[in-house]
């Protein structure tokens, strides 16, 4: 079921924003296959973040929930199982990612789950449409973080909660810095310009909380969530990073194979210095914010 578009919707994004949106769509559509292939691994890897959001929202059985940047469907699918008499709308800019989400909803027999393509910065819903909103690892990629926060505030009912996670800084995320550190010793790996979409764009918790307040939310709490990436081999780590993590793929695919081999060897030495077959668990830190309209 689709929700009727009303005049309160935000107008079309500006050209720069449109470029960012199209670049994000292209990239996430390209990686939807990898996300599908690595679904169990990824969902396990991000489990604590999902649980924090689901617990914070504590949705009623008949709640109307919006999951923004739902990707392959989490936490929307878990929320749908908690609101059997309600409806969960999974919104994402990537049709490819949503296709995976739809498949998972069907496999689980969830009939209260709707996937809809759209931009977080111009939500295609009327004011005060939802009891609760979730957004796991989305804000960093939106064309305009503040516009997206304002839009979520607009479509949330008064008193409703938004629970969202964003990646914490590099020091909390050895799962990515282990590989990026090795890449940087061999190749150019430019950081995105300040304010541009990227993994650590919202990593300063005070600055991000201030942006949510500016959008009209009251910040009820925030916490650092510690997930863990558990790989049974370096090959598994390497495979995941090369099929799911877009900037890594973009850099390594164009590189000389001998350099890629040197980077892989360095990663192997870092992860298993004593020749052990199993890498140590790798920390993955995110900030979770629970805010009220
Ligand atoms: C890291 S994934 C998170 C997916 C899912 N929430 C999860 O945690 O498994 C980021 C998602 O943000 C989506 N995205 C990027 N820009 C967007 C935008 N402007 N509006 C809506 N979704 C967007 C991407 O398509 C991608 O699916």
Round to whole Å and give the CA distance between 80 and 3.
Answer: 17
Q: At 261, which helix (H) or strand (E)?
A: helix 257-271
Q: What is the CA radius of gyration of the chain?
A: 19
Only one residue has tokens 């923004």, namely: 68
Residue in 10, 28, 196, 227 to alter for ligand 1 test, most ligand atoms within 8 A of Cβ:
28
How many independent structural domains does the chain possess? 1
Is residue 40 in a domain? yes
Q: How far is the CA of 128 from the centre of ligand 1 (A)?
A: 22
The residue whose C-alpha atom lies closest to atom 9 belonging to ligand 1 is: 74
Q: Which atom of ligand 1 is nearest to the CA of 43?
A: 9
Q: How far is the CA of 70 from the centre of ligand 1 (A)?
A: 6
* pLDDT, tens digit (0-9, with 9 covering 90-100), for 11-41: 455 668 898 899 889 989 998 999 999 999 9
**Residues near ligand 1 (Cβ within 6 A):** 21, 24, 28, 46, 69-72, 74, 92-94, 97, 119-121, 136-138, 141-143
Round to whole Å and give the CA distance between 59 and 80.
Answer: 9
Q: DSSP code of 195?
A: T
Alpha helical stretches, state H, the chain: 15-37, 39-45, 47-57, 76-82, 95-107, 145-155, 174-186, 205-214, 234-244, 246-253, 257-271
Is residue 149 in a domain? yes
* pLDDT, tens digit (0-9, with 9 covering 90-100), for 140-159: 999 999 999 999 999 999 99
Q: Are 140 and 29 in contact (CB under 8 A)?
A: no
Round to whole Å and give the CA distance between 201 and 170.
Answer: 11
Residue-level pLDDT at 13: 54
Q: Are 57 and 65 in contact (CB under 8 A)?
A: yes
Q: Are 237 and 279 in contact (CB under 8 A)?
A: yes
- Candidates 212, 209, 207, 203; CA nearest to 284 is 203
Round to the nearest angstrom and report the end-to-end CA distance of the chain. 25
Cα torsion for 178, 179, 182, 186, to the nearest 10°?
A: -160
Is residue 187 in a domain? no
Is residue 216 in a domain? yes
The residue whose C-alpha atom lies closest to atom 10 belonging to ligand 1 is: 138
Show the low-confidence residues of the chain (pLDDT under 70): 1-15
Q: What is the CATH number of the domain that holds 106?
A: 3.40.50.150
Is residue 128 in a domain? yes
Global pTM value: 0.93
Is residue 94 in a domain? yes
Is residue 244 in a domain? no
The residue whose C-alpha atom lies closest to atom 11 belonging to ligand 1 is: 69
Tell me the residue range of the domain where 208 lies: 15-170+194-229+283-292
Residue-level pLDDT at 9: 37
Is residue 274 in a domain? no
């Amino acid at each position: 079921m689709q929700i009727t578009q009303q005049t309160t919707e935000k107008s079309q994004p500006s050209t720069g924003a449109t470029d960012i949106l199209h670049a994000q769509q292209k990239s996430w559509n390209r990686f939807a296959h990898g996300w599908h292939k690595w679904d169990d691994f990824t969902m396990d890897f991000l489990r604590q973040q999902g649980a924090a959001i689901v617990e914070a929202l504590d949705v009623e059985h008949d709640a109307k929930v919006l999951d923004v940047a739902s990707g392959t469907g989490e936490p929307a699918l878990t929320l749908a199982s908690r609101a059997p008499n309600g409806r969960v709308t999974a919104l994402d800019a990537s049709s490819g990612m949503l296709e995976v989400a739809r498949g998972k909803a069907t496999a689980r027999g969830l009939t209260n789950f709707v996937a809809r393509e759209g931009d977080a910065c111009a939500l295609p819903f009327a004011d005060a449409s939802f009891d609760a909103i979730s957004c796991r690892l989305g804000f960093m990629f939106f064309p305009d973080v503040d516009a997206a926060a304002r839009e979520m505030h607009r479509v949330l009912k008064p008193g409703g909660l938004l629970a969202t996670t964003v990646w914490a800084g590099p020091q909390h995320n050895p799962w990515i810095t282990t590989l990026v550190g090795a890449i940087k010793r061999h190749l150019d790996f430019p950081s995105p310009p300040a304010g541009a979409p990227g993994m650590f764009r919202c990593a300063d918790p005070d600055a991000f909380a201030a942006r949510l307040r500016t959008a009209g939310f009251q910040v009820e709490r925030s916490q650092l969530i510690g997930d863990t990436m558990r790989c049974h081999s370096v090959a598994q780590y390497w495979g995941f990073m090369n099929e799911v993590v877009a900037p890594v793929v973009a850099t390594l695919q164009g590189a000389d194979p001998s350099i890629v081999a040197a980077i892989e060897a360095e990663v192997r030495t870092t992860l298993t210095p004593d020749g052990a077959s199993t890498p140590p668990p790798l920390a993955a830190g995110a900030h979770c914010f629970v805010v009220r309209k």
